[in-house]
Structure 1
Amino acid sequence: MSVQSEQSRRHRVVVIGSGFGGLFGTQALKRADVDVTLIARTTHHLFQPLLYQVATGILSIGDIAPATRLILRKQRNADVLLGDVIDIDLEAQTVTSRLLDRTTVTEFDSLIVAAGSGQSYFGNDQFARYAPGMKTIDDALELRGRILGAFEEAELSDDHEERARLLTFVVVGAGPTGVELAGQIAELANRTLKDAFRKIDPSEARVILLDGAPTVLPVYGGKLSANATSRLEKLGVEIQPNAMVVDVDAEGLVVKDKDGTERRVDSQCKVWSAGVQASPLGKQLAEQSGAEIDRAGRVHVNPDLSLPGHPNVYVIGDMMALDKLPGLAQVAMQGGKYAAKQIKATVAGQPVESRQPFKYFDKGSMATISRFSAVAQVGKLEITGFVGWLMWLVVHLMYLVGFHSKFSTVLSWTVAFFSRGRGEMAVTEQQVFARNAIEHLHDYERARAAEQLGDPTAVETGEERERAAG
């Protein structure tokens, strides 16, 4: 175990997470009289809103995930540590992180917790094996392999039913991510892959969008939801509202409709974009501080984003629950900047009582349906079609980090939107099956540990547990 304890007298700030909240909070402290340590489980800053474009071959990983160290290399008061945070001790003011077999303890005077969220399967985590989410680069690469691999397998099959199953793509969750992904899979099948196969017609692929809500994009509603529905249907997407997924396996899923009847949808490629769950660090913070957490694991914070009873600890982004703020990138960005401002005020000697509450400035929200078509909501203004799509392009390009990412993304968009090509269509078998291989490795390690500890019940593998549950 190593201990990261600066001998400097300067105020020590630890930031957990390299997402929008963590990165923007760190950058906002660039000229402050503090030392910042950013701890993250990945080496990159992920622009998550464009992850679906990696999954459908439009963008490369480098376009949306620049290295955090390179972003911060000119910020001399910032240090970056790679590791998964496993413990936060509020009393001792330390953060414990782990990378492989190395454990690191980092001390802090102020703490910004921006560890984000993961996919929620609403208590059915076993669904993840057959229906990956859309939260990480690994998810996107795996999905790209599964999507393109389904077309390749269908080309090899002479069985009509098998082909139908292989060419049926199901997206669970009709929020912005689900809508964007369904639209891009449809465009991939109808446009990009046209004439690329000899035995199958990719345009015969079924793209099904399921959601328990009665409409797509329920957070928008009204005109925008209706416009998105119309555009998706023109692309050939089958929208199935009021449909709850009750089971998922390798060959398909079981859906319960509003009237209570259950039906099966045969599909090899399923994607889960319904629901999020905040980082488990939220539970740790709640247990130590007495703060409440909601059903999604988000921590109820004070109006200044601080943890109750701990004015030097800020919880931001997808981890915080305050005034029903949505889990958007803008909320995390503004929260990170606000927390940095309060830390600078603390260093300057200003009392906690003088803090002004966090006020979120809503810059609007948007979702792209297909090329040349998007929906956007800015205040009471609702925009659809080509104008909405242009707004979507500008806004997303603006928030990409680094000139290289912006330039490369523009080139990739030009190819994808103004021709039939996509620059990232290569996939490997390893990308598709790596998740299962890693799960089996973890099972093996747990089994070895259990044998050494004399705990026979822990020797079960993942497959054995599934068979037992079934």
Structure 2
Amino acid sequence: MPHVVVIGGGFAGLSATETLAKEGFRVTLIDRHPYNTFQPLLYQVATGGLNAGDVTYSLRYFSARYRNVNFRRTTAIGLDHEKREVLCDDGVNIAYDYLIIANGITTNHFGIPGAAEYSVSMYTRAEALRVRDMIFGGIETIAGMSEEHTGGFTIVVVGGGATGVEIAGQLAELKSHAVPVVWPELNPALMHVVLVEMGPALLAPFDDKLRRYTLRELVKRGVDVRLKTAISEVHADRVDFKGGQTMQADLVIWAAGVSGYPLLRDWGLPIGRAGRIEVNSDLSSINDDRVFAVGDASVIVDNPLPQLAQPALQTGKHAAQQITRIHLGQPTVPFEYYNKGTMATIGRADAVVQMPNGLKLTGLFAWLGWIALHIMFLLGSRNRIQTLINLAVRYSGLGRSGVIVGDVAETPRLKAIKQK
């Protein structure tokens, strides 16, 4: 059987690997981490709701389930199209008959000065833990000061998409539920959560009714939502807005956009919008029919897809099926996306759900559906059980504070103050 190399152990990569393995192909799965990360729940890690281990799963264990799959922990740094080899940073090249690129995305700072240096993101396990430590480090700092000697603790979340809404809502809940219990000496009013969105509404892909509902619920929870507000520069201790306004910021969480990894531009592949690999309707690269790109790393030129888990899972499976068709001497077929709906959580007992048949849900039932779906898609029985327990403790009140703490880290503003 042909040898297929899959770069990336995310939703798309694992979907492709599993499909290929079942068809009998020899597969080598490459990832720079030894684990898969369930990104939709990283904001829960960042706010102390879940342990990092609850949302990660061993790629070696995943690969060991299939006798024809091998896992290599290495970083792909380039391609040799003539020799059909993946170049790796450990100096060992991996030959392939077919290649599937599923290495995901990274943060897009849109060239805004200071954004890369002074903001943090949550697209990896390490980043989520770093955000968590800075959040609790910032709270610890103001808890040790008298009110007259602190300007408070301000967290600015940039981006009004699902990630921005979910982290802002969870931070507001942290302020109202955890701070009074864990830091009784601290006035919760000293903690400020600001959500900044350049567009006229939150959750742009959703129905207007759901967008208005989300805005009302966040404001009700104490989030300072600023629509039609663009950031011009990020500093260690503040953010500047277009129009001349400025705001003190202890921590800036960047959830404003994503792009493909810059190193892909040197791989001899067609790069399109937001640094993503341009592919044909069957998900093969425009300039190499032995190379497929799936998930967030790719963009179908004639039919761009949303960068969500479902398109990643479906494109990974479809690319694997096309390799099977090629191997059997059959023509490939175009990818067709099946929309299973979208959802976003706002906070405790509150979420929005939009189904393709027009059904729209808000509140408790939408939130319960959100929890059930995310637990179902987690890899590993242990992770599902542990996540269910931790979320139940957090939202039932049994654990009172409901937060998992780690180390404390200095925020960019505190570092700047110490350097003066």
> TM-score, normalization: structure 2?
0.93
Q: CA separation in 1, counterparts of 2:321 and 2:217?
A: 43
Within a 5 Å distance, the mapping from 1:172-321 to structure 2 comes to: 172-256=158-242, 261-285=243-267, 288-289=268-269, 291-294=270-273, 296-321=274-299
What's 2:65 paired with? 74
For the Cα contact (< 8 Å) 1:13–1:108, is it kept in 2?
yes
SS at structure 2 position matched to 1:232: helix
Pick one of 354, 360, 369 that aligns with 2:337.
360
CA distance in 1, matches of 2:271, 2:313: 23
1:21 alignment partner in structure 2: 12
- Provide the secondary structure at the position in 1 that maps to 2:230: strand
Structure 2 equivalent of residue 411 of structure 1: 389
In the TM superposition, what is the alpha-carbon distance from 1:239 to its structure 2 partner?
0.4
From the superposition, tell whether residues 128 and 79 of structure 1 become closer, same or farther in structure 2 (CA, over 3 Å): same
Distance in 2 between residues matched to 1:33 and 1:342, nearest whole Å = 14
Q: Which amino acid aligns with 2:165?
A: V
Query: What secondary structure does 2:119 align onto?
Result: coil
CA contact 1:132–1:143 (8 Å) conserved in 2: yes
Map Cα deviations across residues 156-176 of structure 1 (whole Å, 9 max, x no partner).
Answer: 223636332xx2111011100
Quote how far apart the aligned CAs of 1:203 are.
4.4
Cα-to-partner distance string for 1:354-401 (whole Å, 9 max, x where unaligned): 221000101111000001100011112221111111111111111101
Counterpart of 1:236 in structure 2: which amino acid? Answer: G
Out of 151-160 and 48-57, give the one that drifted further: 151-160
Deviation for aligned residue 1:427: 2.1
Structure 1 stretches of at least 4 aligned residues deviating more than 6 Å after TM superposition: none
Correspondences of 1:353-432 after superposition (within 5 Å): 354-379=331-356, 380-419=358-397, 420-429=400-409
> 1:336 and 2:316 equivalent?
yes
Matched, 1:55 2:55: no
| Structure 1 residues 421 and 195: CA distance shift in structure 2, 3 A | closer
1:202 Cα deviation (Å)? 2.3
Among 100, 112, 127, the alignment partner of 1:112 is 100
Instruction: Tell me the equivalent position of 1:146.
Output: 134
- Evaluate the alpha carbon distance shift between residue 421 and residue 133 of structure 1 in structure 2; reply closer, same or farther with a 3 A threshold: same
Which whole-Å deviations, capped at 9, do the CAs of 1:303-341 have from their partners, x for residues lacking one?
A: 100012322211111111121211111111101111111
Which structure would you say has the larger RCO, counting Cα contacts within 8 Å and 6 or more residues apart? 2
**Higher mean C-alpha displacement, 273-282 vs 133-142:** 273-282
Q: Among the aligned pairs, what percent are the same residue? A: 35
How far has the Cα of 1:213 moved from its partner?
A: 0.6
Work out the CA distance in 2 between the residues paired with 1:36 and 1:433: 43
Alpha-carbon distance in 2 for matches of 1:216, 1:105: 45
The offset of 1:31, in angstroms, is: 2.3
Distance 1:248 1:162 in 2: 21
Contact 1:151–1:202 (Cα < 8 Å) also in 2: no
User: What is the distance in 1 between the residues matched to 2:266 and 2:339?
Assistant: 30
Q: Give yes or no for contact 2:151–2:190 (8 Å, CA) kept in 1.
A: no
Of 96, 116, 120, the match for 2:87: 96
Name the SS for the 1:163 alignment partner.
coil
**Paired residue secondary structure (1:39):** strand
SS of 1:185's equivalent in the other structure is helix
Measure the CA separation in 1 of the matches of 2:160 and 2:22: 42
How far apart in 2 are the matches of 1:292 and 1:118? Answer: 15
Which amino acid letter does the alignment assign opposite residue 269 of structure 1? L
SS at match of 2:17: helix
Q: What is the CA–CA distance in structure 2 between the aligned matches of 1:272 and 1:292, rounded to whole Å?
A: 24
| Range with greater deviation from structure 2 (198-207 or 246-255) | 198-207
What's the RMSD between the two structures over aligned residues? 1.9
Work out whether residues 136 and 408 of structure 2, in 8 Å CA contact, stay in contact via their aligned partners in 1.
no
Change (3 A) 1:89 1:335: same
How far apart are 1:212 and its partner, in Å?
0.5
Give the distance between the partners of 2:310 and 2:113, measured in 1 at CA.
29
Alignment match, 2:32: 41
Q: SS of the residue aligned with 1:72?
A: helix
Q: What residue in structure 2 maps to residue 454 of structure 1?
A: none
Alpha-carbon distance in 2 for matches of 1:388, 1:189? 23
**Structure 1 residue 142: Cα displacement:** 0.8
What is the letter of the counterpart of residue 424 of structure 1? I
Aligned residues: 409
Unaligned runs of 5+ in 1: 1-9, 438-462, 464-470
Q: d(CA) in 1 for partners of 2:336 and 2:264?
A: 22
Q: Distance in 2 between matches of 1:158 and 1:83?
A: 49
Task: Give the TM-score, by structure 1 length.
Answer: 0.83
> Which residue, 122, 128, 134 being the options, matches 2:122?
134
Cα distance in 2, alignment partners of residues 175 and 109 from structure 1: 39
Aligned mates of 1:29, 1:144 — CA distance in 2: 37
